[in-house]
Amino acid sequence: MHIVIVGNGIAGITCALDARSRDASARITVVGGESEFFYSRTALMYAFMDKMNRRDLEPYERDVWRKRNIGLVTDWVVDHDAEKREVKLAGGKTLTYDVLVLALGATANVPDWAGLAETKQGVVNFISAQDLDACEALVPKAGRAVVVGGGLIGIELVECLMHHGIATTFLIREPYYWPAALSREESQMVIAHLREQGVEVVVDESVERVESTGGRFNAVVTKSGKRYAGDILGVCIGVRANLERMKSWKSAPASRRGIIVDERFRTNLPAVFACGDCCEIERPGRAPLIETIWYSAKRHGALVARNVFGDDVAYEPPVFFNSSKFFHIEFTTVGEVEYAPAGTPTIFRHRSGKHVCQRIVHDGTRVIGFNMLGSRWDNEVLARWVEERRSPTWVLRHLAEAQHDVELGRMNLQAFDEVNIPLAKLGSPPHA
Amino acid sequence: MRKVGVRGWLLHDVTHRGITAWLLAAVIFAFYIVLYFGGQYGIPDLVSPWAEQLGLSSKWVLYGALYSAAIVLGGFWMLWKYRHNRYQVVRTLVVMVVQVTLGFSVPQMLKHAGQPEYYFSYLWPLKIDYFYPYNITGLPWPYVVYSVVGALVMVPVLGVFFGKRWYCSWVCGCGGLANTAGEPFRHLTSKSTPAWRFEKVAIHTVLIAALLATALAIGSALLPEESPIVPVAGKYREFYGIIVGGILSGVIGVGLYPIGGTRAWCRNFCPMAAILGLVQKLGRFRIRVKKDMCISCGLCSKYCEMGIDVRSYAQANQSFTRASCVGCGMCAEVCPRGVLTLENVTRKDPQEAVRRAPGRASLPIIT
């Protein structure tokens, strides 16, 4: 049996490693053109900030692939024939498969701003190793930068640029930062922190056009007519499934916003699976699911590794969790905060004068989610409380049990002001 | 410091095995060779005249003062850099205080008071001569009791409850220097599998050598003087002193800082670390990994001064205890997702109790 996995990101590599653990004899080949070895995309910012070397981003020693007998091919797939069960590579090679797993990942959303197409130099995304190359090439000559997009990748890029002494303007379309995940109070805290770090944060402004001279980026002009000059333009307005390359294939699986798969990650083509950021999961009686975070890609890959051997396991996402870090503010979210409508009752705990807060979202009788900023929390405990349908009063009484701060440094939960306030958030779609 | 558009400190020459780093390593090497072997083998003794000039009784007092100054200055820098992390603040303060008192001024004061120059912060087998017969019979009895009880009871008992960190990163001067003045070099330690293999062989080899040195020294004291073992034991003791005490702990241990990271001695050669590592494997200390939250970024591995590939455990959701871990807590500090925490597992820990609780069905729903 030959399993060919297209994409050597976290979904594809998790699939390869788990498939190998499951079956010692299957032939496993991973094809990926972005990098020779799997690297941790989430750590790109640490390489940019010189906290790590590129090589340090590789989560596995390089001889792991030989030891675990996983073939790596550094190339791009240019064609796929479902009848012959083969994929053609840009380098001319052809691989014949028994099972094909597409883990194509995601790519940056391209906005339709006037003047962007003419701007050839100085515009960067921050998603791939190639993006990092581009950023690093621009840094030595840059004095100012503008980053557009109020999400996770945007704030990471802002942090990196600030680290290199580049004065950065952070342009956010919504009235506050990351409204998809944060509500007003948390967002204001993050923005205050960004301003303390010297970032120029501009909210409620969207880009009208991009100005350039000789193809080199100069400035963005917003809809309200303000002009923000810079040498680098960071475009971080979210990601979409990476389906471009698939368009020229002889047999491409059916896709909408992503490759359409069922709950077992099967596409409409026989023996072809898709997982990770590139797929859209159809669920009978429920809205299709698109998950584009590290943790979901890892789960998808692990599940596909079972289904390719005929285990027939349906995907059921666990209680949602995610994490991030906004400069120095650590963020843990668990449960239904992102999807809870505005007005949902919450308990908001804040410590005056410090960028630390906890938000417990509930429906009156049971807790449905947590948004924790500025200190460390054990997502496993919080998720269990959501699963166990714990009441808000019970959770408040036991809150300390979910703390995960460093030894001797446990945050004193008594020192917080506690108020009952409804969730204040916007209805706008997630940005990044 | 950093200027506009300039790549940051990691790629700096000094912290990145550049020419300055090699020069610095060469200077430290030369310093230790002169310090340990000056006046012998044709190597000039350049340190003693300085000590005399300053009115100090020996070059070792001067060295102790310099060593303490490095820990105190580096310590203040650590306190500033990690002021948001109480574990690092408390640990660094303890390391600084222990070095200045037990590691330097207390032994000097004892000497002035007509007592032996005794270092309470160093124990057998790191300070192997505290078990040598001339100390056992020569020191006043309270010191002997401390030497023996300290090494054979205090070290392992505290090791069981707190792991090896209570000594290696809270008390010991070798660790003290690594975790203060050595901070800019901590990421240089090799995380490769061959380095791990070397570590396991090397550290246990030195442990056996230390046990042998102790056994021979005590044996030769009990044997009649004409026994052929006695001169062999003497030669062996001298050999152990030069190789382990001089070359491995000093010249290589500190000289390698700018090239091979800060804990080359602690990781590969220290016999005390070897014993504490074995105790730690059986004890309560561990690094707890928060489930599913790791993003495999690798900062934990990068900044582990003992060369542990922390990420390999974190991304596998595996709480772990590694014999070499000195519990410096830096993996937990640098983790951007707060995945790691150091802990001494106790049955009274409420979090542990929750984790061990029976399945959901037996718990009341909405109380």
pLDDT beneath 70, residues of chain B: 1-11, 347-367
Grade residue A47 by pLDDT with cuts at 50, 70 and 90.
very high
Residue A339: the pLDDT is 81
Instruction: Decide: residue A16, CB within 10 A, 0-12 exposed, 13-18 middle, 19+ buried.
Output: buried
Identify the residue among B1, B299, B366, B367 best suited for mutation to test binding to A, counting A beta carbons within 10 A and taking the highest: B366
Q: Do A43 and B290 touch (CB under 8 A)?
A: no
* pTM score over 0.80: yes
A13 interfacial to chain B (CB closer than 8 Å): no
pLDDT digits (tens, 9 = 90+) for A294-350: 999 999 999 999 999 999 999 999 999 999 999 999 999 999 888 888 889 999 999
B348 interfacial to chain A (CB closer than 8 Å): no
pLDDT digits (tens, 9 = 90+) for A60-118: 999 999 999 999 999 999 999 999 999 999 999 999 999 999 999 999 999 999 999 99
Which ranges of chain B would DSSP assign to H, the alpha helix? 19-37, 47-53, 59-81, 86-100, 106-112, 133-138, 141-149, 155-162, 165-168, 173-178, 193-222, 229-240, 253-255, 257-260, 264-268, 271-282, 299-302, 310-314, 330-334, 350-356
Nearest to A59 among B2, B315, B354 (CB): B315
pLDDT for residue A144 is more than 90: yes
Residues in B closer than 8 angstroms to A405, CB to CB, are 338, 341
CA count, 13 A, side-chain hemisphere, A161: 33
Show which of residues 90-119 on chain A sit within 8 Å of chain B, judged by CB atoms.
none
Please tell me the distance in Å from B290's CA to the nearest CA on chain A.
Answer: 6
Residue B5: the pLDDT is 40
A321 interfacial to chain B (CB closer than 8 Å): yes
Q: Which of B206, B279, B217 is nearest to B243 (CA)?
A: B206
pLDDT for residue A38 is more than 60: yes
Please tell me the distance in Å from A94's CA to the nearest CA on chain B.
Answer: 32
For A165, the closest chain B residue by CA position comes to B4
Show which of residues 142-161 on chain A sit within 8 Å of chain B, judged by CB atoms.
142-143
Instruction: Give the C-alpha separation, B120 to B110, whole Å.
Output: 11
B295 interfacial to chain A (CB closer than 8 Å): yes
Residues in B closer than 8 angstroms to A406, CB to CB, are 85-88, 329, 332-333, 341-342
pLDDT digits (tens, 9 = 90+) for A249-258: 999 999 999 9
Instruction: Give the C-alpha separation, B338 to B299, whole Å.
Output: 12
Please tell me the distance in Å from B13's CA to the nearest CA on chain A.
Answer: 13
For A410, the closest chain B residue by CA position comes to B86
Q: Do B299 and A51 touch (CB under 8 A)?
A: yes
- Strands B340-344, A367-373: parallel, antiparallel or unpaired by DSSP? unpaired
Instruction: Give the C-alpha separation, B149 to B127, whole Å.
Output: 14
Show which of residues 255-294 on chain B sit within 8 Å of chain A, judged by CB atoms.
290-293
Can the peptide bond before residue B116 be classed as cis, meaning omega within 30 degrees of 0? no
Sign of CA dihedral A174, A180, A184, A185: negative
Residues whose CB falls within 8 Å of the CB of residue B150, separated by 6 or more in sequence, listed in order: B120, B123
Residues in A closer than 8 angstroms to B313, CB to CB, are none
What proportion of chain A, given as a percentage, has pLDDT over 70?
98
Nearest to B87 among A166, A387, A409 (CB): A409
Residue B358: the pLDDT is 40
Residue B362: the pLDDT is 37
Residues in A closer than 8 angstroms to B7, CB to CB, are 50, 136, 139-140, 164
Q: Do B336 and A325 touch (CB under 8 A)?
A: yes
Residue B110: Cβ within 10 Å count: 16
Nearest to B302 among A56, A376, A380 (CB): A56
A391 interfacial to chain B (CB closer than 8 Å): yes
Which segments within A298-407 are labelled E, that is strand? 321-326, 329-335, 345-350, 357-362, 367-373
Average pLDDT on A355-377 reads 95
Q: Phi first, then psi: what are they for B123, rounded to 5°?
A: -130, 160
A281-286 contacts: CB < 8 A, separation 24 or more?
A281/A315
Task: Tell me the CA distances in angstroms from A337 to A312, A322, B266, B268, B365, one per residue in order.
Answer: 31, 11, 47, 49, 21
Q: Phi first, then psi: what are they for A67, rounded to 5°?
A: -60, -40
Residues in B closer than 8 angstroms to A401, CB to CB, are 350-351, 354
Nearest to B290 among A53, A378, A389 (CB): A378
Task: Tell me the CA distances in angstroms from B205 to A376, B126, B200, B255, B268, one per residue in order.
Answer: 41, 14, 9, 21, 10
Residue B11: the pLDDT is 63
How many CB pairs lie under 8 A apart between chains A and B?
Answer: 151
Residues whose CB falls within 8 Å of the CB of residue B294, separated by 6 or more in sequence, listed in order: B311, B314, B315, B317, B337, B339
Instruction: Give the C-alpha separation, B117 to B112, whole Å.
Output: 9
Residue A341: the pLDDT is 85
B296 interfacial to chain A (CB closer than 8 Å): yes
Residue B132: Cβ within 10 Å count: 20
Task: Tell me the CA distances in angstroms from A90 to A32, A128, A136, one per residue in order.
Answer: 11, 19, 27
Identify the residue among B81, B296, B333, B345 best suited for mutation to test binding to A, counting A beta carbons within 10 A and taking the highest: B296
pLDDT digits (tens, 9 = 90+) for A228-274: 999 999 999 999 999 998 999 999 999 999 999 999 999 999 999 99
Residue B40: the pLDDT is 86
pLDDT digits (tens, 9 = 90+) for B285-341: 999 999 999 999 999 999 999 999 999 999 999 999 999 999 999 999 999 999 999
A76 interfacial to chain B (CB closer than 8 Å): no
pLDDT digits (tens, 9 = 90+) for A165-195: 999 999 999 988 998 889 888 999 999 999 9
Q: Do A10 and B296 touch (CB under 8 A)?
A: yes
B364 interfacial to chain A (CB closer than 8 Å): no
Q: Do A380 and B290 touch (CB under 8 A)?
A: yes
B151-160 contacts: CB < 8 A, separation 24 or more?
B151/B123, B151/B124, B151/B125, B154/B123, B155/B123, B155/B272, B155/B275, B155/B276, B155/B279, B156/B275, B156/B276, B156/B279, B159/B276, B159/B279, B159/B280, B159/B283, B160/B279, B160/B282, B160/B283, B160/B284
